[in-house]
Amino acid sequence: MTAIMQTYSHAAVMNFLNEVSGNFPDAIALAAGRPTERYFGRLSSDALREAIDHYGCSTTQLLQYGRTAGVINTLVATQLRRDEGVPADANRLIITAGCQEAIALCLSALCPRPDDVALVCNPTYIGATGAAQACGVAIKAIPSAGDDLITALEQCIEQLRLERRCPRVLYLIPDFDNPTGRTLSEVQRRAVLTTCERHRIVILEDNPYGMFRYEGSPIPPMAALDEAGCVIYLSTYSKTICPAVRVGSACLPHTLFGDRQASAKLFQELTERKSFVSVNTSPITQAIVGGILLRHDCSLRDWIRPTVDLYADNREVMLQALKKQFEPHPDISWNRPDGGFFLSMDLPFRFTADAVVECATRFQVIVMPLAFFALDDSQDRRIRLAFSAVDRDDIASGVASLSRYVTQRLESMGTRERESPVAASAL
């Protein structure tokens, strides 16, 4: 059994990112997976008050301790049904302090025993592996074996069985993945569902970006395709409304692998755990979200249209800039995500923390190495470029700066490093 070692520790990555942004405020940040601030004006303190008033609860409901599982559950469930096609039931939905809390609660509730394991993609959102670490939950990375996710997943499960360990949960971002920008096809989703049902593995479907599609047809969330009762749907208002509300949710299936009581029991356990981690999610920020949902008939499609348009435009600008700057390099490639906040880029050399600092200091651009999100060294030659919270002019300059860095790097290193194959995954 190979121990899974994060190439960079979570602490190191967090510190590093905080430091690099603070130390180089003039660099163009293609690093942060944040929503744009362009339309934050719609959420002035006046607008927040109006949302609370529109929600229309009593001061007691607004200011006192509230129900642990949340107070706006019916509105959120309605929005998930309308906007995302998720068969959400308010009685199986728990409001959390952002989606991050939902991840932490689900991982610890679903993996209580030492031999329980959470499966994750590699690379994956650092908040998921960080939560697992903080909660003492073991993780195993599914090797990023091209598109054959199912074979890799099955191998992973088989290997764990041999080790007498038990895969309990699979954390997944099917739409516009963080950090890769990858989207799973409906065929892949159904195959993952079948595999997970067979092995009784709960899928934590994290969908922060699903509403931000810029081309192509929407693919149903896995929770909408789930007939076996194996998907917990995680959502957040951080991207659609704003991060500061710290309101997310976990929506359980009606049954857990056909067992209605098991789902009810899990809901109860998540609620109990939440009561001991944060008591309840602020009823004030829930009222803000509730007021906005009520005012928009429980759909945020119109509300997010300006941001969707902006991100779509930004993505286009970034893709154009990449084409212009990197087309001469046949060994440099990138994907074209149909939505979301990021794309990922493959480089012919290792891109480490040192490279981030050099880019930031000498070329005034900050990008994210995928190594920061990886559980082995397989991602050492890849980076994530975020286009969500950057001005379009900055995108072009940032990509041009990155290109100058890359050119310099290629010139200085000669051909040896360039031609060596990507290091094999340690898994």
- Binding residues for a copy of itself, rule: CB under 8 A, are 10-11, 14-15, 34-35, 37, 40-41, 43-46, 48-49, 52-53, 59-60, 62-66, 68, 97-98, 100-101, 104, 108, 127, 130-131, 133-136, 238, 242-246, 268-269, 271-273, 275-285, 288
Choose between 44 and 408: whose C-beta lies nearer to a copy of itself.
44
Give me the least distance between CB of 49 and a copy of itself, in Å please. 4
Mapped to the 3 state alphabet, what secondary structure does 255-314 carry?
Answer: CECCEHHHHHHHHHHHHHHHHHHCCCCCHHHHHHHHHHHHHCCCCCCCCCHHHHHHHHHH
Contact 33, 386 (CB under 8 A): yes
Residue 239 CB, shortest distance to a copy of itself, in Å, is: 11
Q: Which is nearer to a copy of itself, 133 or 407 (CB)?
A: 133
Shortest Cβ 238–a copy of itself spacing (Å): 8
Classify burial at 154, counting beta carbons within 10 Å of its beta carbon; exposed 0-12, middle 13-18, buried 19 or more: middle
State in angstroms the smallest separation of the CB of 360 from a copy of itself: 19
Nearer to a copy of itself, 292 or 402 (CB): 292
* Residue 63 DSSP code: H
Q: How far apart are CA 364 and CA 303, in angstroms?
A: 34
- Asked whether 141 and 375 are in contact (CB, 8 A), the reply is yes
Give the residue with the Cβ less far from a copy of itself, 62 or 145: 62
- Token pair of 126 as six digits: 């650092």
Contact in structure between 241 and 289 (CB atoms under 8 Å) = yes
- Of 6, 72, 110, 421, the C-alpha closest to 248 is 72
User: Residue 127 or residue 398: which is nearer to a copy of itself going by CB?
Assistant: 127
What residues contact 398, with CB distance under 8 A and at least 6 apart? 28, 30, 365, 390
Q: Where are the alpha helices (DSSP H) in 56-97?
A: 59-63, 73-84
* Residue among 124 and 285 whose Cβ is closer to a copy of itself: 285
What does each C-alpha distance from 327 to 143, 235, 321, 334 come to in angstroms? Answer: 29, 37, 10, 11
Q: Where are the alpha helices (DSSP H) in 117-243?
A: 126-134, 149-162, 186-199, 222-225
Least Å distance, CB 282 to a copy of itself, is 4
CB of 155 to a copy of itself, least distance (A): 28
Q: Name which of 144 and 281 has its Cβ closer to a copy of itself.
A: 281
Least CB distance to a copy of itself at residue 105 (A): 9
Q: Rank residues 86 and 287 by Cβ distance to a copy of itself and give the closer one.
A: 287
Query: Smaller CB distance to a copy of itself: residue 172 or 241?
Result: 241
**233, β-bridge pairs:** 205, 251
Q: Smallest gap, in angstroms, from Cβ of residue 76 to a copy of itself? A: 17
Separation of alpha carbons 43 and 419, rounded Å: 51
Nearer of residues 36 and 122 to a copy of itself, judged by Cβ:
36
Q: Which is nearer to a copy of itself, 216 or 243 (CB)?
A: 243
Determine the length of the chain.
427
CB of 300 to a copy of itself, least distance (A): 16
Nearest-angstrom CA–CA distance, 385 and 387: 7
Give how far Cα 125 sits from Cα of 171, 176, 177, 178, Å. Answer: 9, 12, 8, 6
Phi first, then psi: what are they for 405, rounded to 5°?
-60, -45
Q: How far is the CB of 96 from a copy of itself (least distance, A)?
A: 9
CB of 177 to a copy of itself, least distance (A): 19
